Structure 1
Amino acid sequence: MRRWIKRALSAVLFLGLVALLIFAFLPKPVEVETAPVAQGPFAQAVEEEGMTRVRERYLISAPLAGQLLRIQLEAGDSVKRGDVLAAMIPAAPPLLDVRTERELQERLGAAEAERLRARAGVERAQAALAQAQSDLERARQLAEEGLVSAAEREQRELTVTLRTRELEAAQFESQVAEHQVDLARAALIRAKQGAGAGERLEIRSPVNGKVLRILQESERVVSLGTPLLEIADPADLEVVVDVLTTDAVDIRSGMPARIVRYGGEAPLEGRVRRVEPSAFTKISALGVEEQRVNVVIDLTSPRERWETLGDGYRVEAQIFVFTKEDALKVPSGALFREGDRWAAFTLLDGRARKRTVEVERRSGAEAMIEGGLSAGEEVIVYPSDAVKEGVKVKPG
């Protein structure tokens, strides 16, 4: 009996040891990170750095040659239309020669031509605003009847806001052009009358705004056309973003944009006004030549949300070139190339299963797909070389 018991125990120990060895050499499941395939809103955006700038700025220059008196204003001071910006004592030329008179007449002619252009711009802006208001009224009526979506009505309202700002900018230009004509005409009359030395000439502001820069602060002799100071309306800001030309081909006027990392807490909303027609070469941080083009964005968020922004502030912009409310999307890290197609690993019954997927668009951390996966399935994110078809895996 004892011998039989010893043999039985030996057999059990042997079988246990064999089982332990088999278990030790069995392949262990690979730990992986997983994420679900989701159904929801998807947005593809072009993200680049940019800066703010005032839409319209006016450079105040000397209307005549003479002695500029010290400018008392400082950068940031508010001015109203008609306020004295600077004063100077014109030089009294002994005689008005033909060349000087021709230059003054040409300056007056150029100012009058600019005034005509500015007036035409105001008329165009007024017509565009009237059309936008008419479209908005029609959209509101159709929305009440359920024939137009709320999103389309909001788009019409935004268009009216943008056209209003364009009209304000055109009126600003027109005021500046009128002021330029007055200055040029006054300069020509003074020269013809031979104004004497010591007579004080005051240079007044053509518009309401703020002083951006003082270019000639100290008293000194200046020539005709010398820049003195720069004024603008800081409440009329736009954002300029330079993007790669390969990205710019997808950007259109009216596309939504978002301004982030500008110093404020909440992102600001905006709308693309235009893509400038001419590109330029820029050297990247890695020393690579890039072809870029400027995209101009209007801020559509309420003024009180960005009133601390000024001219030349650095921002980051996201321009949404594609949006879809009900898209099938996966993390970009779950996708990998297999030949000329995209593929992903799913987690099914504890094993990795390879699936071919149709990727429509990619945007940062997400990709929109059209087929190959279903909402709710678990995909393996950033699969290692150990993850292959049929390999046991477990979420880490």
Structure 2
Amino acid sequence: MHATHDEHTANAVPEAERGSAWRIFFIIAGTQCGLPGFVLSARILSALGLHDGIAAIIASALMTALLAAFTSWLGAATGMSLSLLSTRIFGPYGAVIVRTVIGVSLVGWFGATIGLLGSTAAPALSEQFHLYISPNLVSALAGIGIVIGTCMGARGLERIGQIVIPVVALGLIVGIARTWHALPAAALHGGTHALTFGGAVSAMIGSYVVGIIIQPDYSRFVRSSNAAVGAVVTALALAYPVIMIASGIPSLALGRPDLVSALVALGFGIPALLVLVLSAWIDASACLYSGGLALANLLQSRRLWPYVLGCGLIGGILELGGLTDAYVRFLLLLGIVLPPIAAILIVDTLIGLPANVGRPAAGRQHAAILAWICGGIAGGLSEFGMTSLTTIPTFDGLLVSACIMTVASLYARLTPSDPAI
């Protein structure tokens, strides 16, 4: 798909333009190869120890795959993006808020990602090639390239994933092979206990909650909804934990904060730099694509590339202007209101089947907004230690919003209503 092609920002993807589920496998698995995931896996294994850390990663991946399977099915079954589905589920006014929240979040994470790339790559370039380039210049150049690539649409994301996955796989194999001898000693280390098991699970699911929500943006291009679910489960239940565990083992064995720094310590500076650039590239591209899609739909435009360009410009200004750190703190607070959206999408998938998927009955739009508000409040109360149902903010938000939406959806199915909504 080219910048000038219709990315179907305002309508469902026609059957004739849908294809294989492999495209979303490469996108989803590719986005798991990012530096934030490498840092998180190292943190989990360091905190819980090798055995408990692996158990936490596997449990988190299975739960993430289950949640994402529902939202992916919804996108493939309807051919609609998250932005279009949000209108059906939340109503026109609620959908504006959903799109704005998603767009603002993703633009911010794009800026944070290119900033992390610049601050990590600049010292590596200096050490490996004696090239002294400012982190801001690295971020700016990378950001320009990422914006250009993202303007190609979902096909561009697929192509990046096809490159990232084998490169990262090679880095993982090298890292494990060179640190295998240190694993017995690492396995005896009980962990720092800086994270609890539940905290590790929450951190992993929370790190991908936006990905769960935006699954329809990718799965709408898949011809078969069952194939879309299969691709998501393969990527998240199989590839995701393998990537996390394999990236965490060299970090644990060497006492390094992430896979990239572990590879540098092993003398593989150039491969480490390649892994860093490609992993940041696909992370940032995915943020730009869905952020641009949300804003294009919000402004009722059929062209995606101007909004990708605008999102990239805003994210770049935030980063180069030194505002990213403050903005990320805002994004972390904003993250409290995101899990309930995933729960509402999942309930709509389960209870709306088969005839009403994505099409709310009378009163369900108001119920969706109420469920979102209550879920956000529950997550906020848990986050700030005021009260909690599960001790995990992400789960509290999911649980409360899912319960409210379930009751409202069942009531709507049992109550005659005017279908013209």
The TM-score bracket by the shorter chain reads under 0.3
Q: Where is the helix percentage greater, Structure 1 or Structure 2?
A: 2
Larger radius of gyration: 1
